[in-house]
Amino acid sequence: MGGIHPKTYKLSAGKQIQAAPIPTQAIIPLGHYLGGPSLPIVKAGDVVKVGQMIGQASGFVSANVHSSVSGTVNKIDSHIDASGYKVPSVFIDVQGDEWLESIDRSSEIKRECTLTSAEIIKKISESGIVGLGGATFPTHVKLSPPPGKKAEILIINAVECEPYLTCDHQLMIEKTEEILIGITILMKALQVDKTIVGIENNKKDAIDLMKKHAKAFAGIEIIPLQVQYPQGGEKQLIDAVIGRQIPSGALPIEVGAVVQNVGTTFAIYEAVQKNKPLFERVITITGKSVKNHSNYRARLGTPLADIVEHAGGIPEDTGKIVAGGPMMGRALTTLEVAVAKGTSGVLFIQTPEAARKKMQNCIRCTKCVVVCPMGLEPYLLMNQSERSMNTEMEKDRIMDCIECGCCSFCCPSNRPLLDHIRYGKSTVGKIIRNRQAKK
Amino acid sequence: MNIFIVSILTLLFVGAVSAIILFLASKRFKVFENPLIHQVEAALPAVNCGGCGYPGCHGFSVACVHAESLHNLVCTVGGKATMEKVAVILGKTASPVIPTLAVVRCGGSCEKRPHNNQYNGVSSCAIAHNLYGGETGCTFGCLGLGDCEVACKFDALHVNPITKLPEIDEEKCTSCNACVKTCPKLIIELRNKGIESHRIFVNCINKDKGEAIQESCSVACIGCEKCMNECAFDAISMANNLAFIDSYKCSLCRKCVSVCPTNAIVEINFPLKTNKVVDNVVSV
C-alpha cells in the first residue's frame, strides 16, 4: 500500500568500505534513540581498551555500550547528538589502538557456531547490539518473543530504500558470507528454519552475490523487491515479502515474523563468532557536491567532522547536513556530533534543495492519502494536530504513523504534513503513556 | 372563507398542544440551579480564560458556591476586588490573593546568544522543540517563534522582533497561566508580583554546566553559587547548575544582582541605581 519513488542517487555505490581515521578524542554517547540510557561504569581517569564495556544497560529495553578506542577516560559529560539535544556521553582521550585480547581480529571466516539459542541471545545482549537500520531498538529484545508467541520466519532487511545511502549495499558485497553466517546464528537463536532476505532490485550485484553464496546454507531465500520507498520499514517489508499485514498497534511477532537489518546481522556474526562487541559501524558520506563519496567503517564516538574532513571536507554549496538519509534523517546543527549506533550516513544537501518551499492551501487532491504506507489520512491528521484534537487523532490511528515523510514529499502545496503529524503523535503518545501509568 | 377558519383553528390547536407539552416538560425536567451560581458568575470577569483551573467562569462559580471555604479559589483576572465581591455574595471570607505575573526566564537575545543554525520549518515553538534543540547553542532557551503570543488572550505578550524574546505587558497580564502551559521549553513562570511591582529573578533556565553554556550564551546562569552564598534570607536554591530565587522569601535587597558574574539575575521596576550614585556625588 502506498509508497513513493524518489530518485535514488546512490552516488557512493560500489565504493569500497575504508577505515575511518581513529579520532584523538572519542565521544561515545550513552543515550539511545529508543529505550533507557545506559549507565556509565567507568570514571574519569580510568584506562580502557577497545571493546571494553563502559556503559551498562539500564533495563531490559536498553543496551550495553563498549569503548571503541583505547585510552584514558577524560570525563563523563553531556554532548550534543543527532537529535539536537545533549545526551550523557563518555569522552575518551585516545592513546594507541589496543584491543581486548578476547576479540578475534583475524580475517578468517568462522563458520561453526556451537552455542545454544539462549547463549546466543545472551551474547548479543552483552555485546550491546541494537538495530543498525536507524531505530536502534535493542536486538536481544526482538529475539525474545513475549510468552505465547512464536517466531515462524526471519526476514532480513537489506532493502536500503533511503536514497543516497549505500552502507548496507556495500556491506553485502564485501561481507556476503559473514552476513549469511550471521543469519544462520539468528535462525538458531529464534529456532526458525526459514529466512527471507529482501533486497531492492537496484542492487543487482548484491542480489547475485547473495544468491550465489546462499546455496551453501539451508533455508535462506533471497528475494529481489521492486524499488519503492519506504519498503525498508518493518511492517512494509513483511507485507512485501510474505504478504501479511500487522494489525494496528501490534508488533511483527503477531504475524510470526522477526525482522533484522543486514548491518545488524553482520554485527551479530562479529559478536558471536569473533567475540567483538558493537563499537564500529559502516556509514556513508555522500551528497551531490561531495568530492569523495565513500563508505567508511567508523568507530562509535568519532566526531563526524573528522570523517567528513577525510572525505574532502564540507562542500561550499551545502545548505543542510543530514545524519541519515534524506527522507528520515535528522538535520544536524553541528558536525561535532559523534558517530552513534544509529548513524547510517552523513548527507550534504545543496542550498537550493535544502530550502523549504512556500506553503499553500490544501487542495484536497488526496495524494498524501494515496502514498501513506500505513493507510492514514495525513491531511486530516495535520488539521487535527493544528487544533490539538487529541482524541480524534488517537481514533484516526496517529500512533501508527512511521514518520516516513511520503506525505510531505508528494504534497503539491508543500504543506509540512509530517511536522504537524509528528508533533501530534508525540502529544498523543504522552497522553497514552500517562493513561497506562495510571492503570 | 372556510379554509381560513380551518387553518387558523388547526394552528391554534397545534400551538396549544405544544404549549402544554412544553409546560409539562419544563415542570418534569426542571434542573434546579442554585441562584447564587448566577450571581457569582455575574460578578466574574467573564473572559473564560481557565486561569483559575476550572472550565470557564461558570465552572469556577459552581466551585465557589459548593466549596466550604474560598480557600485556594482565586480568580486571577479579577484579583482581590472580584474575590471580595464573590465573598460578599456567598457570605464566606475570601482567601488572601497574592498578585502574580507571568515572567519570561530567558535573557538570550539574538545579540547575547548568537544563532549557529537556521530553522526554516513550521513557525511554531512546539513543532521546533519536537524536532531539535533550537537555533542557538543553548537547548533550553527561548525559541522565539511566539506560541505564547498566540496563546495570550489578553494581548499582554508580544515577541520583540529585535531580541526575539517575548515581553510581557504588566498592565494587561492577568496571570491566567495560558502562556506557561503553552511554552514547550517551560521558560515562563508565574511569579509573585512583588511590592510596588519590584521583582528579582534568575533570567535563565539552562541546566548545562557553566563552561559549556558560556560558549553559547553570555547571560546564562553558570551555576557558580555566588548569589546563593550572598543571600542572607535563604531565598536562593541551586539545582542542576541553576539558581532559583524563591519570590516569597526574597526581600528584594538586590545583593545577588550585583554579584552575578553573567548578569543572569535581573531586577525589574527598581529605580535606576546610577541615579542614586549621581545623587550621592552631588550631595557630597
Which pLDDT tens digit goes with each residue over B148-174? 999 998 999 999 999 999 999 998 998
Measured in angstroms, the CA of A330 and the nearest CA of chain B are apart by: 8
What is the amino acid identity at position B70? L
Helix (H, G, I), strand (E, B) or coil at B150: helix
More confident residue, B280 or A227: A227
The residues facing B202 across adjacent strands are B265
* pLDDT tens-place string over residues A140-177: 999 998 888 889 999 999 999 999 999 999 999 999 99
In chain A, residues with a C-beta closer than 8 Å to the C-beta of B120 are: 355-356
Contact check, Cβ <8 Å, B116/A334: yes
Rounded-to-integer distance, Cα B46 and Cα B34, Å: 19
Contact yes or no for B160/B154 (Cβ under 8 A):
no
Q: What integer pLDDT is reported at residue B193 of this predicted model?
A: 86
pLDDT tier, A134 (very low <50, low <70, confident <90, very high otherwise) = confident
Nearest alpha-carbon partner for A273 in A211, A177, A394, A182: A182
Instruction: Give the integer Cα–Cα distance in Å for A178 and A183.
Output: 9
Compute CA distances A193 → A110, A145, A186, A188, B58, whole Å: 21, 16, 10, 8, 67
Cβ separation A423–B209 shorter than 8 A = no
β-pair partners for A29? A89
Identify the CA nearest to A3 among candidates A375, A373, A418, A425.
A373
Distance from the B115 Cα atom to the nearest Cα atom in chain A, whole angstroms: 10
- The C-alpha cell 533556565 sits at B205
Question: Domains of chain B: which residue ranges?
Answer: 35-90, 100-274
3-state DSSP call for residue A257? Answer: strand
Q: How far apart are CA B31 and CA B63, in angstroms?
A: 18
C-alpha A225/C-alpha A215 separation (Å) is: 19
The predicted structure's pLDDT at residue B283: 37
CA distance A433 to chain B (A): 17
Of all residues in chain A, the percent with pLDDT exceeding 70 is 100
Fold of domain A18-103+277-351? Ubiquitin-like (UB roll) (3.10.20)
CB A195 within 8 A of CB A183: yes
Q: Is-contact A78 A86, C-beta < 8 A? A: yes
- pLDDT > 90? residue B77: no
Cell numbers 521596576 label which residue?
Answer: B269
ipTM: 0.88
pLDDT at B284 over 50: no
E strand map for A128-256 = 153-158, 195-200, 220-225
CB-closest option in B126, B132, B134 to A423:
B126
Residue B233's contacts (CB-CB under 8 Å, 6 or more residues apart) are B249, B250, B251, B253
Contact between B132 and A356 using a beta-carbon 8 Å cutoff: no
Backbone angles phi, psi at A7, to 5 degrees: -60, 140
**Size of the A and B interface in Cβ pairs below 8 Å:** 47
E strand map for A12-123: 17-19, 25-29, 39-40, 47-48, 53-56, 65-66, 71-80, 86-94
Residue A97 neighbours by CB distance under 10 Å? 12
Q: Give me the pLDDT at residue B124, please.
A: 94
The CATH code belonging to domain A117-274 is 3.40.50.11540
The nearest alpha carbon in chain B to A415 belongs to B122
pLDDT in tens, A372-410: 999 999 999 999 999 999 999 999 999 999 999 999 999
- Cell numbers found for residue B229: 552564598
User: For residue B277, is pLDDT > 80?
Assistant: no
What pLDDT digit, counting tens, does each position of B181-206 carry? 999 999 999 998 888 888 999 999 99
Boundaries of every domain in chain A: 18-103+277-351, 117-274, 367-438
Confidence (pLDDT) at B275: 47
What tens digit of pLDDT does each residue of A274-313 get?
999 999 999 999 999 998 889 999 999 999 999 999 988 8
The mean per-residue pLDDT over the stretch A197-208 comes to 94
In angstroms, the Cα distances linking B248 to B80, B96, B198 are: 18, 14, 13
Residues B94, B71 contacting (CB under 8 angstroms):
no
**pLDDT over 80 at B274, yes or no:** no
Question: For all residues of chain B together, what is the average pLDDT?
Answer: 89
CATH number of B100-274: 3.30.70.20
Residue B76 to residues A5, B53, B62, B70, B175, Cα–Cα distance (Å)? 56, 10, 16, 14, 6
Mean pLDDT on B72-79? 86
Residue with cell 552455542: A115
Q: Which residues of B touch A (CB under 8 A)?
A: 116-117, 120-122, 124, 126-127, 130-134, 139, 208-209, 212
Residue B221's pLDDT band (cuts 50, 70, 90): very high
